[in-house]
Chain A
Amino acid sequence: METGREGSGAAIRDGIPGREDRSYEVIRILPRQLRDKLRYGIPDFGRLQELRFRVGEPLGAVYEGKNLWVTWSGSLSCGLDEPILVTREMIREMLEYISGYSLYAFEEEIRQGFITIPGGHRIGLAGKVAMEDGAVKTIRHISFLNIRLSHQVFGCAKKLLPFLYCNGRIENTLLISSPRFGKTTLLRDLIRLVSDGNAYGEGVNTGVVDERGELAACFQGIPQNDLGRRTDVLDGCLKAQGITMLLRSMAPSVIAVDELATAEDIRTMEFAMNSGCTFLATAHGGSLEEIRRKPLFCSMMEAGLFQRIGVLGMNRIGDEVRERKGDKFRGGNRDEDRNSEENRDRDGGRNRDENRVRNRGILIYDSSFQEMTEGYVWY
């Protein structure tokens, strides 16, 4: 059990910088021959989303939502001019760096298919899977690596706070959206704001059960994302067990979990709510109606366990930006898209992630499914 704290991304040990220098953490796990090329070739590491290594194939990159190739000069290109061909040796070298020369220490992570490195970046692994008794034992001959760069968006949940607080206390809140709409990013920032305190309520002790390591992105137990000063993180623990452990040991006022998925999660959560804990949670779903129809959630929703239900309704990153008309989504408007792009360029790309998220909207309902926000809240 680790305690999240501001600046905890600061050195884990001498020589390992904190969350403020996240590109460094990616550069240092690259093969030595590529480090300088990418360091100086990629225009802005803040906009880089993924680096994809496949043995025998060109090195790929996802930059601002576009699939590109990395050339030997280090630049990003749409075409295959002088591409960097990934070799088995490069993958072997990277695995040494990623695992700190100790693959044995990452058996569980390899079984799950990903390793989180300092900075909160996640390395996806693929190769020959070895099975035992119907379960994944390990991945051998790892030939595919996907470096997904972590980008925390500070302040994206600020605009939701007036709707989520009642008498200075945060309400049980469920965030619903389809994958890649940003609900985890939103939840992460919400945890930080609740933990640190904000204009609507004082900071409270917050427990996070981070089953997949996406909220805190812990490295060696230390959160790489800022989840606030009063946040305790149970990393890699099943939600149902983690909630009970936090209740017993850390006395949290608020517990946050990402992606409720099983009946046991919901039963444990209900038990914890009856013990006086407030919950911040997310669930996969296209709309409120869809969630209400799901057998897993219907009884929970009808019982009104959550006083606030947020439905995220924006297109995913990189897709066309929608306009706001009459507080409702009305499809894409190219002129406004262009304006939005120009605004971002004027920003010098400094807060591009933040701008991107500002173009997202959320509808907030109360426990009787009445819309509280009179249209989308843009954040």
Chain B
Amino acid sequence: MVLKWIGALLVIGGSGALGFCYGGQLRRRLLQLRTVRQILYMLKGEIHYSAVTLPESFFHIAAKTPQPFREFLERVAGRLYALDGECLEQVWQQELRGIKKKLNLSAEEIGEWEGLGGRLGYLDRRMQLQLIDLFLTQWEEKIRLLEKECGKTCRLYQYLGVLAGLLLTVVLL
């Protein structure tokens, strides 16, 4: 009998943890979306006020950005400084692939972030800033929607996890 109760607790605990884990992922996704927004704001500032080059901007921004974006920006900047004959788009995509496992963003969001690399650098400053503004608007919208849903969805995942555990326990018992 004791073993049955221990088993039931483990099942409920496990599925509850799974629910919390999904909720946490959602929160981390929101956090990463905000980080991307912060990077875009900083990049805009670097281009607008300092007019420094992209590698230089990436180094500056990396110093104020949490992982895994710090690693990403530092690696991109390092490779661009090396002038090894690779284009920015290529370097950006390759380095993004390197941190993909550490990202909680959706495939669509990663695709958009990947696309930014191909559009940076070429245009004049005004166009460059407009491009970043466009990206910012899109990310702001994503963040707004996710913030609205995040609390509810997180709780839902947690309840679902615990309830699913209870259901499984009842069925098994």
Across the two chains, which residue of chain B brings its CB closest to A35? B85
Cβ-defined contact, B51 with A28, below 8 A: no
Q: Could you give, for residues 64-87 of chain B, a 1 whenever the CB lies within 8 Å of some chain A CB and a 0 otherwise?
A: 000000000000001011111101
Q: How far is the CB of B123 from chain A (nearest CB, A)?
A: 6
Count of chain B residues near A, Cβ 8 A? 25
B47 contacts across to A, CB distance below 8 A: 104-105
A271 to B43, CA, bound (A): 43
CB distance from B36 to the nearest CB of A (A): 20
* A138 beta carbon closer than 8 Å to chain B: yes
Verify if B56 is at the interface (C-beta below 8 Å from A): yes
Give bound CA distance, A220 to B56, whole Å.
Answer: 10
**Which A residues touch B55, using CB under 8 A?**
100-102
Chain A residues within 8 Å of B84, by CB: 32
Q: Mark B101-133, 1 if CB is under 8 A from A, else 0.
A: 000000000000000000011111101100000
Q: Bound state CA distance, A32 and B84, in angstroms? A: 8
A side interface size, CB within 8 A? 21
Interface residue? B88 (CB, 8 A): yes
A200 within 8 A of B: no
Contact pick for B121, options A13, A28, A101, CB 8 Å: A101
Inter-chain CA distance A121–B123, complex, in Å, is 24
Distance A107 CA – B170 CA, assembled complex (angstroms)? 71
**Given contact pairs A15-B82, A28-B83, A32-B85, A100 touches B56 in the complex (Cβ within 8 A):** yes
Which of B51, B83, B88 gathers most chain A CB within 10 Å?
A: B83
For the A-B complex with A101-B53, A104-B124 known, give 17 more contacts whose Cβ atoms are closer than 8 Å.
A16-B81, A32-B84, A32-B85, A96-B87, A96-B121, A100-B55, A101-B54, A101-B87, A101-B120, A101-B121, A104-B51, A104-B125, A104-B128, A105-B52, A105-B53, A107-B51, A220-B56
Would you give 22 A-B contacts (Cβ < 8 Å), ordered by A?
A: A13-B59, A13-B81, A14-B81, A31-B85, A96-B87, A96-B121, A100-B55, A100-B80, A101-B55, A101-B120, A102-B52, A102-B121, A103-B121, A104-B47, A104-B121, A104-B124, A104-B125, A104-B128, A105-B47, A105-B53, A107-B124, A220-B52
Q: For the complex of A and B, list the 5 residue pairs with the smallest distance between their C-beta atoms, beginning with the closest.
A: A100-B53, A32-B85, A102-B53, A104-B125, A101-B121
